[in-house]
Amino acid sequence: MKIATLADFFGVGVIGGIKESERSGAEGVQLYAWNELNPFEITSAKIHEIEKAAKDSGQTVTALCGELSMVSTDGHGLESAANNPSQIEYLKRVFDLAAGLSCNVVTTHIGIIPEDKNSAVYAAMQSACKEISEYAAGLDAWLAIETGPEPIKRLCDFTDSIPGGRIAINYDPANLVMVTNDDEVKGVTLAGKRIVHTHAKDGIMKKYTGPEHIYGIFAEGGIEALENLGDYFAETPLGQGNVRWPEYLCALRDIGYNGYLTIEREVGENAAEDIRLAVGFLRERLKEL
């Protein structure tokens, strides 16, 4: 397994974040497909500049994050059949951008997968993911759905319902600990080879209210809405929350995962320093495997 960072959270722009990732000792970076990397506006010259910065810094672009709220302000991912054509078009352009950066994973939140497989929302999400899967297959790439809005078993069943094997999982153990109250270690075994990318994040649950409630608020208010959810959970620096890192990393090893542990630090007074400390934390934990 290798260590990566989310370049945007260094707070110094994409190129600066790539350079900071190298300084932190990481081997890769995930980039957000928004702002500087808006796939509808980015130029070939900018793509070349980012590709060169990554190469010069010894960083692999591990994944692009497709931020669906860029396209639709309702924040509910692929839940709405009416909104999905624009969402799908955006994700296709993100895949094109990823290919230009020699990257084959796009991560995203697609909304909350319903328990009822016969619901209209489930059908809308399936239909959208089938189209995305076909496009991703043409680029030998994967759409990795982030864990959290539903139990792992439901997410696995959904990915398995999409033909082609190009709808996979971006595994975030902290989301399961903080919000879903699902076992982050057993979930790895259940998800298995569906995991193509991970986020290294930590946190604690203060009060369970259910992922539907939390992710519903997030969908309506974005990252800023997380500030109003402090009664329910808290994100922490790596090693200071309730993610069981030794057991979690052993589970990843046991399923044969050899991809990236991409550090995500969305909050905190000094996220950049927390990221640098997280690289060291993961390095030590990997030595213990």
The strand pairing partners of 108, in sequence order, are 145
Is the sign of the CA dihedral 179, 180, 183, 189 positive or negative? Answer: negative
Is the pLDDT at 86 greater than 80? The verdict is: yes
Domain ranges within the chain, ordered by starting residue: 2-287
Q: Please, which residues have CB within 8 angstroms of residue 102's CB and are 6 or more apart in sequence?
A: 51, 61
Q: Region 58-64: what's the mean pLDDT?
A: 98
Backbone dihedral region for residue 116 (phi beyond 0: left; psi -120 to 50: alpha; all else: beta): beta
| C-alpha 28 chain-centroid distance | 14
Direct distance between the N- and C-terminal alpha carbons of the chain, in angstroms, rounded to an integer: 11
pLDDT at 224: 73
Which pLDDT band holds residue 115 (cuts at 50, 70, 90)?
A: very high
Answer whether residue 284 shows pLDDT above 80: yes
Beta bridge partners of 283: none
Range of lowest pLDDT (121-125, 168-172, 226-230, 252-256): 226-230
- At 28, is the secondary structure helix, strand, or coil? strand
**From residue 102, how far is each of 54, 60, 91, 132 by CA, in Å?**
11, 9, 16, 19
Q: What percent of the chain has pLDDT over 70?
A: 99
Q: Say if residue 35's pLDDT is above 80.
A: yes
Question: What does the pLDDT average to over 189-211?
Answer: 97
Give pLDDT tens digits for 202-241. Answer: 999 999 999 999 998 888 877 677 778 899 999 999 999 9
Mean pLDDT for the chain overall: 95
Are 137 and 122 in contact by the 8 Å Cβ rule? The answer is no
Helix (H), strand (E) at residue 50: helix 44-56
Residues 6+ apart with CB under 8 A from 131: 88
Could you tell me the pLDDT band of residue 157, with boundaries at 50, 70 and 90?
very high
22-34 pLDDT, tens digit each: 999 999 999 999 9
CATH number for the domain formed by residue range(s) 2-287? 3.20.20.150
pLDDT at position 79 over 90: yes
Confidence of residue 266 (pLDDT cuts 50, 70, 90): confident
Q: What is the DSSP letter of 230?
A: T
User: By C-alpha distance, which of 181, 178, 215 is closest to 199?
Assistant: 178
- Tell me the C-alpha to C-alpha distance, in Å, between residue 215 and each of 96, 153, 276: 28, 18, 28
Contact 199, 172 (CB under 8 A): yes
Query: What's the confidence (pLDDT) of residue 155?
Result: 98
- Give the pLDDT of residue 30: 98
Q: Are residues 271 and 11 in contact, defined by beta-carbon separation less than 8 angstroms?
A: yes
Q: What's the confidence (pLDDT) of residue 58? A: 98
Other beta carbons within 10 angstroms of residue 48's beta carbon come to 12
Q: What is the CA radius of gyration of the chain?
A: 18
Q: Report the pLDDT averaged over residues 243-256.
A: 98
Tell me the β-bridge partners of 98: none
pLDDT of residue 270: 87
Name which residue leads in pLDDT, 67 or 284: 284
Residue 17 has pLDDT above 90, yes or no: yes
